[in-house]
Amino acid sequence: MMDEANRGRLSDNWQAVLHEIAEAALASSRKPADIKTIGVSKYVNIDCTRNLFEVGCKELGESRPQVIWKKAESPGLGEGVQWHLIGHLQTNKVRRVLQYKPIIHSIDSKRLLDSIANESRTQGLITRALLEVNISGEDAKTGLSPTAAEALLETLPIEGVEIIGLMAMAGRGSQPEEARRQFDHARDLRDEWRSRYGLPLPELSMGMSRDYHAAIAAGATMVRIGSRLFQGILDNE
Ligand SMILES: *Cc1c(COP(=O)(O)O)cnc(C)c1O
């Protein structure tokens, strides 16, 4: 179990992150309320995840669907959490994970989109999802190339899924200026596609612990913060 000291650190870290994000928003003449902070709990166990929720983080991000269903079934994490799936989703895990109504940030193929749409219709849901776009050009990164994303956008709308925006990651080890250039590129693609395909695409999920500042300056509406929240905690557990 997490002791009092670690719980206090977690609460302080959460408040500090909220504060820094609000500052970054104001520095870009944006409203802090327009940026949603997702706490990425993939590094920590159920107990620490529950503590994060209890100190005020209601949006939780996980890379693996199995972890969402395990954590969502545990006491204290069922009601009131909005789960975000930020990692690759295999079609054989779609049915089970949809029961927890996650926002899916990682649509990376037409096949996956169709599978989520089918299963959402079966379960009577409208699933909110984002297209993961590869803006860094790195082969190792997952996500759709801009051309592949366009091919997929051509097929919308699709019943059962609402595509609410784009998710993007800066290339590994990008310096802040390079990250900023990549995030600007993602926003420009969103703006272009919004008018070309007549879709609102309000959300831009971009920015992690090391580059959220650049992402907010570029227009991010969702930032996904993990390691920064657990500073001083993971080593002591
Ligand atoms: C792990 C992860 C994050 C959080 O990264 P930190 O650098 O720990 O803040 C954000 N987005 C995705 C897709 C991730 O896999």
Average pLDDT, consecutive stretches of 10 residues, N- to C-terminus, the chain (237 residues): 93 98 98 98 96 98 98 95 98 98 98 98 98 84 91 97 97 90 97 97 97 97 97 73
Structure tokens at 113: 């989109």
Q: Are 143 and 136 in contact (CB under 8 A)?
A: no
Q: CA 26, CA 24: separation in Å to the nearest integer?
A: 6
> Does ligand 1 lie within 6 Å of residue 40's CB atom?
yes
CA-proximal residue: ligand 1, atom 12 (nearest): 86
Residues paired with 205 in a beta bridge: 167, 222
Q: Which two tokens stand for residue 221?
A: 């509406």
Q: Which residue's CA is the closest to the ligand 1 atom numbered 4?
A: 226
Distance 46 CA to ligand 1 centre (A): 18
Using the mean position of ligand 1's atoms as its centre, give its distance from the Cα of residue 137 in Å.
18
Measured over the CA atoms of residue 62, residue 63, residue 67 and residue 73, the dihedral's sign is positive
Q: Is 226 in the pocket of ligand 1 (CB under 6 A)?
A: yes
The two three-digit tokens of residue 18, written as one number? 């909220």
Q: Is the CB of 224 under 6 A from ligand 1?
A: yes
pLDDT given for residue 235 in this prediction = 63
Region label for 140, one of left (φ > 0), alpha (ψ between -120 and 50) or beta (otherwise): alpha
Give the pTM: 0.96
- At residue 173, the pLDDT reads 83
Candidate from 13, 36, 40 with most ligand 1 atoms within 8 A of CB, to mutate = 40
